Amino acid sequence: MSRQNITVLGSTGSIGVSTLDVIRSHPDRYRAFALCAHSQVDKLFEQCLEFRPAFAVLRDAPLAADLAARCRAAGLPTEIRHGLDALIELSAASEVDAVMAAIVGAAGLEPTLAAARAGKKVMLANKEVLVMAGELFMHAVRQHGARLLPVDSEHNAIFQSLPVDFDRGLAACGVSRILLTASGGPFRNTPLAELQGVTPEQACAHPNWVMGRKISVDSATMMNKGLEVIEARWIFDAPPAMIQVVVHPQSVVHSAVQYVDGSVLAQLGNPDMRTPIAYAMAWPERIDAGVAPLDLFAIGRLDFQAPDPVRFRCLQLAYDVLNEGGTAPAILNAANEIAVAAFLEQRLSFLGIAQLNEAVLDALPAVPESSLGDVLAMDADARRIAQQMITERRFA
């Protein structure tokens, strides 16, 4: 069996590091072909020393020059590149078998789209890609024969709980509902009056998962679940009304599919992203992911609740933009990226995130999603308006 060459977009992040952990355990199957990160030179250099990739990419030229000097001094074979063009090229290169899309946010859209257009196996963690340009991206996947494997734990669980030929239509497969589970995040039971004053550190302290800061804040507002509803709509071609969010604080049932005969199929496991990553990497086979076996006796009980629409306003905003369609989800995504960054910099309150998202949606009318250029222009407009509203201190 020949080894698969993998480009890891976002190799220094939470998903990237877990991906490299799976690659490390299976050197006979996988090779890190290109490792790509934003600006973490030290961490990327360490990864180059261990994995000896053919390419490594940083965003800006000066940092890339620094990395190149270090790699040369260490006698590594790695060629160093920088910028978006390099990400696009190394996602589509002929040597590449699979791309792990694990950049956070809109920055991952173009390279991930390039991988789809090159017909690669696309392992998708970067959900913002589907939120911004779901129709365009799924069209590229189908048109170029790419294989889309969801890495987001919920979508990976749904994928595992569906028949392999689900793309003939969920209704034709007897599916009546997708049950998308959510932990409820760190503020599930925090008194509403206290939410205004919560800090970034409190928001990033997720009860079950260790993740990057942006997705941690999204989990606290449940914007993450909203983005995942949109993600599920596109990956599984599911009508929004078929997708039901179920709060499940233990994060053991990673999601489920309900069928017309009364069956519910679910995937369970410890909350460790190496399980969905390894499943996407090895599909349709299974490999050891290095994850501890699930101990149901230690867990004891599984709880389920309906989400609270007042506490989690962002979840409803996601259903609203899905129903509106066009570029409305891209506007929400852009506003939310700016809102979360401002919250993390303590320039916006926690409750300000949902308020800002809603205000930007009200200020900017959506248009039909047609080209990548349209989506990127809308993304830029929404960011500008969101920044302006923060500067004007419209929200406490």
Site residues (CB under 6 A) for ligand NAD?
Answer: 10-16, 36-38, 40, 59, 102-104, 107, 125-128, 152, 209, 211-212, 214-215, 273
Q: State which residue has the least CB distance to ligand NAD.
A: 13
- Residue 102 interacts, among ligand NAD, Mg ion, none and using kind-specific CB cut-offs from 5 to 8 Å, with ligand NAD
* Minimum distance of Mg ion from residue 169's CB (angstroms): 24
Tokens 């496991």 appear where? Answer: 269
Q: 57 - beta bridge partners?
A: 36, 81
Report whether 175 contacts 258 (CB < 8 A): yes
DSSP of 142-159, one letter per residue? HHTT-EEEE-SHHHHHHH
Residues that bind Mg ion (CB under 5 A): 152-154
- For Mg ion, the closer of residues 153 and 161 by Cβ is 153
* Minimum distance of ligand NAD from residue 382's CB (angstroms): 18
- For ligand NAD, the closer of residues 120 and 389 by Cβ is 120
Between CA 352 and CA 195 the distance in angstroms is 10
Of 206, 216, 151, the residue nearest 9 (C-alpha): 151
Between CA 347 and CA 33 the distance in angstroms is 39
Q: State which residue has the least CB distance to Mg ion.
A: 152
Please report, in angstroms and rounded to a whole number, the separation of the first and last CA atoms in the chain. Answer: 58
- For ligand NAD, the closer of residues 126 and 181 by Cβ is 126
* Minimum distance of ligand NAD from residue 278's CB (angstroms): 14
* Exposure of 52 in the CB half-sphere (CA atoms within 13 A): 5
- Residue 13 interacts, among ligand NAD, Mg ion, none and using kind-specific CB cut-offs from 5 to 8 Å, with ligand NAD
* Minimum distance of ligand NAD from residue 15's CB (angstroms): 4
Q: Which residues, at least 6 apart from 119, have a Cβ–Cβ distance to it below 8 Å?
A: 144, 145, 146
- Residue 16 interacts, among ligand NAD, Mg ion, none and using kind-specific CB cut-offs from 5 to 8 Å, with ligand NAD
* Minimum distance of ligand NAD from residue 14's CB (angstroms): 4
- For Mg ion, the closer of residues 276 and 326 by Cβ is 276
Between CA 33 and CA 87 the distance in angstroms is 12
- For Mg ion, the closer of residues 11 and 153 by Cβ is 153
* Minimum distance of ligand NAD from residue 328's CB (angstroms): 19
- For Mg ion, the closer of residues 70 and 155 by Cβ is 155
Q: Give per-residue burial for 20-41: e unless 16+ CB within 10 Å, then b.
A: bebbebbeebbbbbbbbbbeeb
- Residue 230 interacts, among ligand NAD, Mg ion, none and using kind-specific CB cut-offs from 5 to 8 Å, with none
